[in-house]
Amino acid sequence: MLYKPLSKHHCYRFSIMNYLYLCSIMLNKGKKLIIPVINKLGKIREQKNFTKSPIIIGGCGRSGTTMLLSMLSAHPSVFAFPDELSIFNHWIKSDDGKLTPFRSDRMYRHLITHPIPSGKKRWCEKTPYNIRHIDEIIDYFNGNVKIIHIIRDGRDVCLSKHPDKPGEYWVEPERWVNDVRNGLSYKEHSNVYTVFYENLIYHYHKYMKDLLAFLGESFSDEMVNWTENTTVKKNNAWFGSVESLHSQSIGKWKKPENKSRVDYLMSVHGFKELLQELNYDIPGQY
């Protein structure tokens, strides 16, 4: 059988594909070699700079996790990672059988490449999905960790529109129910503190003092005007920059234009019951 020689165009495409394939192999091998180095150097930097237990923030998306991170970043003892690192979303078993975060290198890479201001005694990371891995997080840190679960009225949470998908909502009701339920199952755990978004908005001083007491920190002067002292000033979750506390995002579900969405939310299994359990106001028609 005679084979037709490849054209210059096909040879070029074949060469490029082979080149990209070889690059991907080299990149994967490089990652396997460099990630242990990043982790080792990052751990050294972590142990050198931080002497207090880390702070992990979690909760259903659109519940105020970014706002809470921004607040805590104003504290002189707290070093906040400005972006979600999703360190604890996926876990693998180490050689000794212990579960370890699959992408802890993200945190250590940040510690290696960014300055750590003097006086910072602990780091703080927020990813909403942290709330789904409380057991693993507590075990991984051998109990030397503080976890904060923030809760917000599910109706307001599920009315938030997705920035990249016009016409779609960011959070569906089933996610709110499942994430909040998971966090509430640790409500009495000594390593977990539960705080409500609405309480922070309406009574910031009182509830922030309580939260800081849980962390073993004082309500410092920097926390009084936290918007001026925060190191987390911009985030995609805000669609802009940090703002002073206001209640404009509370009770959006009461607006007439949101009635059909709220009617649907209240019909979802477990949604109304969880609102009642959390002592949120429910109109008589529901």
How does pLDDT run across 85-144, given as a tens digit for each residue? 999 999 999 888 899 999 999 999 999 999 999 999 999 999 999 999 999 999 999 999
- Residue 149 DSSP symbol: E
pLDDT tens across 212-229, in order?
999 999 999 999 999 999
Domains of the chain (ranges, CATH numbers): 48-277 (3.40.50.300)
Q: If pLDDT is split at 50, 70 and 90, which confidence band does 188 have?
A: very high
The per-residue pLDDT of the chain, averaged, comes to: 89
Tell me the C-alpha distance between 278 and 271, whole Å.
11
Q: Is 69 exposed, middle or buried (0-12, 13-18, 19+ CB in 10 A)?
A: buried
Which among 62, 69, 60 has a CA at the least distance from the CA of 252?
62
Task: Give the pLDDT score at 4.
Answer: 45
> Phi and psi of 240, rounded to 5°?
165, -145
Angle at 201 between CA 272 and CA 61, to 5 degrees: 55
pLDDT of residue 31: 55
Compute the distance between CA of residue 158 and CA of residue 188 in angstroms, rounded to an integer: 27
Specify the amino acid at residue 90.
H
| Cα–Cα distance for residue pair 5/164, rounded to 1 Å | 47
Q: Which two tokens stand for residue 194?
A: 């539960």
User: What would the mean pLDDT of 77-89 be, rounded to a whole number?
Assistant: 97
At 21 the pLDDT is 42
